[in-house]
Amino acid sequence: MPTDSLTANARPEPLADALSRHLAGHDCETIAAFGELTLVVPADRLLTVAGILRDHEDLRFEQLVDLCGVDYAAYGQAEWDTQGATTTGFGRGVDRDQALDLEDPERFAVVCQLLSLTHNRRLRLRVYADGARPMVDSLIPVWFSANWFEREAFDLFGILFRGHPDLRRILTDYGFVGHPFRKDFPVSGHVEMRYDPAQGRVVYEPVSIEPRVLVPKTIREDSRYAGRAGAKG
C-alpha cells in the first residue's frame, strides 16, 4: 500500500525525511534497500512530483542520469528451476509454458536515476505503466535529457510516453515488429535478414533457428560418481 514514509525496516536519513515532508499527499512510496532510496510515484502524479524533485531547495534533483523500462512479468520466478539429478548425468528442466498476465497494471515500469548536484545525492524514481497498453507522461518538460532514453524504452519495451515530441524507434530497424526486451518476445526474434547477391539487396525471411532454451547440461560417459552417491544415500 502506498505510503509517504519509509518502510519499517529502513533507517531514517535526511533525503527520506525530505521526501516524506515535501511529497505528503501525493501517494508516493519510499523504499530503502541496499543503502539506496527508491521513490514509487503514481502515474497520474508523475509530472507534479518530478517538478518538486527538481525545483525544491531541499531536493534539487537537477539531472536525470538514466531512464529505462522494466518488464516485471514472471518477476521472482526462477527460470533455472531444476529437476532431480541422477547418477547417469545432470540436466535442468525449464517450464516455458508459463502464461504472462498482459493485464497486470504493474507489469511494466519506467525507472529513472536522478542526481542532485546541489546536495550530492542520488534517487531512483519508479512509475508503473498500464499492462495492456503501457503509457506514462513524458519527462522531457522536466528533464530534457529524457528524450532519447524514452525513445529507447519505447523501442525495446513498447512503453508509450504521452507528450513526447518524436516518439519513434531508435535502435531497431524501421520495419521491426515487436519489442525485443519484453519477456514474451522470442529470443531469436520473428524474422531474420541477409544480403541476397542475386537481388542486390537485403531480404527478410522467417527465422530458421528452432526455439530452444540454452541450459547447461553435462553428460558423463563413466560412473565415477555412482559409488560416492550410493555411499551418501
| Per-residue pLDDT, 79 | 56
- The residue with cell 524501421 is 174
The pTM of this model reads: 0.75
**Number of domains within the chain:** 1
| Per-residue pLDDT, 91 | 38
Structural domain containing residue 112: 14-232
Report residues of the chain scoring pLDDT below 50: 1-12, 82-97, 230-233
| Per-residue pLDDT, 100 | 62
Q: Which CATH number belongs to the domain containing residue 139 in this structure?
A: 3.30.460.80
| Per-residue pLDDT, 85 | 44
Q: How far apart are CA 202 and CA 204, in angstroms?
A: 7
| Average pLDDT of the chain, as a whole number | 81
How far is the CA of 168 from the CAs of 59, 131, 183, in angstroms? 32, 20, 21
What pLDDT, in 10s, does the model give residues 125-147?
Answer: 999 998 778 999 999 999 999 99
Q: Left (φ > 0), alpha (ψ -120 to 50) or beta: where does 14 sit?
A: alpha
**Is 8 a member of any domain?**
no
**Is 103 a member of any domain?**
yes
SS3 content of the chain, % helix, strand, coil (to 5): 20, 25, 55
Triad 153, 159, 105: Cα angle to 5° = 130
| Per-residue pLDDT, 19 | 95
What pLDDT, in 10s, does the model give residues 35-57?
Answer: 899 999 999 999 999 999 999 99
